[in-house]
């Protein structure tokens, strides 16, 4: 494409170590970088001070290969200094980060470790989101075509289901987001609380997934994908307001690494490929929104030489989401 522009990305201080397949969550002004592929070290990055700090390491018996980390937010936890993080990998055991910044096994009321997954479940490239009326349900999507619901109050799976995708397709290292994430869908949640909507994308797979909490049932709707992104996975992604942003990615056979940025409008069911692009080709990176919703941070990844990078950059949300633009009018009185 002509007139492509990389000026909208600002390079920040490099990561303490090269990192790909990282997981990252937000805690106020800090980004918590919770390890990566075979990288047990966890760091915090202060978005105002532009500084990193070592937090802790995962236990030595935890193998990180396409793991997933989610943050549990209680109904009264908005202004708390404590967050509970859950991590799980292909070992099917959940760990949590307690308020002493140490990963410990997640246990039930009798102090028994919580083991998730069935014997043949493969959690490489797993994705999860937390939802439900009281943020007590963990929705898990994983290889080959599985979705399940885990109740964090009762420590039990309450639903297993198969995703309606082609027999020669599968999901891993995919996009999986909540429609209510970062603003979108809050009005719907207030008026129709038993329904919880998620979206999933990977290569030529696009699904809207609606879960009825009262009936414990799923409904699926196939979504349109544009040709520019239909061959890619392992992109960085995030959902804000009415859109999902996708940064970079890798083709199914690894022959093409992308530096494109795509946008999907949830309300309009439309795609857009931007003229603005990443400074370099990148995949297996992670994207996260700043606390004030003004910046997207893109962390780590691998380049088109399959080299793991220490890159950390940010870009303004308003570049990609027109609804974030603020227009000032000057009114002159006589």
**Residue 115's CB: how many other CB atoms inside 10 A?**
14
Report d(CA 43, CA 25) in Å as an integer: 11
Q: What is the pLDDT of residue 81?
A: 57
Q: Please identify every stretch of the chain with a pLDDT value under 70, giving residue numbers as ranges.
A: 1-3, 74-83, 87-88, 90-94, 96-100, 182-193, 324-334
Residue 330, domain member (yes or no): no
Number of domains observed in the structure of the chain: 1
- In tens, the pLDDT along 302-329 reads 999 999 999 999 999 999 997 765 544 4
Cα–Cα distances in angstroms (integers) from residue 268 to residues 6, 161, 200, 271, in the given order: 27, 28, 16, 9
Query: Which among 328, 231, 242, 236 is positioned nearest to 9, based on CA atoms?
Result: 236
Residue 33, domain member (yes or no): yes
Asked whether 68 and 126 are in contact (CB, 8 A), the reply is yes
Q: What is the pLDDT of residue 330?
A: 46
Instruction: Compute and round to an integer the Cα radius of gyration of the chain.
Output: 20
Residue 1, domain member (yes or no): no
Q: In which domain, by residue range, is 206 found?
A: 9-324
Residue 312, domain member (yes or no): yes
Q: CATH number of the domain that 85 lies in?
A: 2.120.10.80
Residue 184, domain member (yes or no): yes
Residue 331, domain member (yes or no): no
Residue 18, domain member (yes or no): yes
Give the number of C-alpha atoms closer than 13 A to the C-alpha of residue 176, restricted to the C-beta side.
26
Residue 332, domain member (yes or no): no
Asked whether 108 and 98 are in contact (CB, 8 A), the reply is no
Please give the angle made by the CA atoms of 154, 28 and 315, to the nearest 5 degrees. 115
User: Model's pTM, two decimal places?
Assistant: 0.90
Q: What is the pLDDT of residue 184?
A: 43
- In tens, the pLDDT along 56-94 reads 999 888 889 999 999 987 654 445 555 677 766 766 566
Asked whether 208 and 223 are in contact (CB, 8 A), the reply is yes
């Amino acid at each position: 494409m002509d007139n492509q522009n990389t000026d909208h990305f600002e390079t920040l201080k490099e990561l303490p170590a090269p990192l790909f397949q990282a997981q990252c969550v937000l805690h106020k002004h800090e980004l918590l970088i919770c390890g990566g592929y075979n990288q047990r070290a966890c760091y915090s990055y202060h978005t105002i001070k532009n500084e990193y700090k070592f937090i802790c390491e995962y236990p030595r018996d935890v193998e990180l290969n396409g793991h997933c980390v989610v943050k549990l937010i209680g109904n009264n936890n908005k202004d708390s200094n404590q967050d509970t993080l859950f991590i799980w990998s292909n070992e099917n055991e959940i760990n949590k980060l307690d308020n002493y910044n140490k990963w410990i096994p997640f246990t039930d009321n009798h102090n028994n470790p919580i083991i998730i997954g069935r014997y043949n479940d493969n959690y490489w490239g797993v994705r999860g989101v937390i939802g439900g009326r009281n943020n007590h349900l963990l929705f898990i999507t994983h290889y080959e075509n599985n979705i399940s619901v885990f109740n964090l109050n009762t420590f039990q799976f309450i639903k297993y289901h198969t995703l309606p995708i082609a027999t020669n397709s599968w999901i891993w290292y995919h996009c999986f987001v909540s429609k209510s994430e970062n603003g979108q869908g809050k009005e719907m949640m207030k008026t129709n609380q038993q329904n919880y909507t998620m979206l999933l994308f990977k290569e030529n797979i696009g699904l809207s997934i609606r879960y009825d909490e009262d009936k414990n049932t799923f409904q699926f709707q196939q979504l349109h994908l544009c040709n520019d992104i239909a061959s890619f996975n392992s992109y960085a992604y995030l959902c804000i307001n009415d859109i999902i942003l996708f940064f970079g990615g890798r083709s199914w056979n690894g022959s093409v690494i992308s530096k494109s940025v795509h946008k999907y409008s949830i309300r309009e069911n439309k795609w857009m490929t931007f003229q603005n692009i990443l400074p370099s080709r990148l995949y297996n990176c992670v994207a996260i929104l700043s606390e004030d919703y003004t910046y997207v941070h893109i962390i780590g990844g691998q380049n088109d030489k399959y080299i793991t990078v220490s890159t950390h950059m940010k870009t303004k949300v308003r570049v990609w989401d027109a609804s974030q633009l603020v227009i000032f009018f000057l009114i002159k009185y006589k």
